[in-house]
Amino acid sequence: MKFKLSEKSKSNIRSSTGLKASDISSMDFSEWDEYLENRLKKKLQFTMPSDPRLIGRGSILLFLGRILDIAPINRYFCRL
């Protein structure tokens, strides 16, 4: 699948990462991880989610813990 980034998106990527979008797309994952570790000055840690319902579903967002836990959301709606 091909897509084209707008100039604004390209400038946002460059300002937030310090690299051009074309440079990022040509890097492999190990190079990208190494770049991020050097930029952040700490080792990247990938942890498994603590909720067993989320393991093995194949989503990188779930794996990296970037999706909210369902328990606080359920508690909120139960109060309504």
pLDDT truncated to tens, each residue of the chain (80 aa)? 577 889 999 999 999 989 999 899 899 988 988 998 999 899 888 776 666 666 555 667 766 777 777 787 888 888 87
Compute the distance between CA of residue 18 and CA of residue 39 in angstroms, rounded to an integer. Answer: 9
pTM for this entry: 0.49
Coil, helix or strand at residue 48: coil
39 closest CA partner among 10, 17, 9, 22: 17
9 closest CA partner among 1, 21, 17: 21
Q: State the DSSP H helix or E strand holding residue 63, giving kind and residue range, or none if neither.
A: helix 60-63
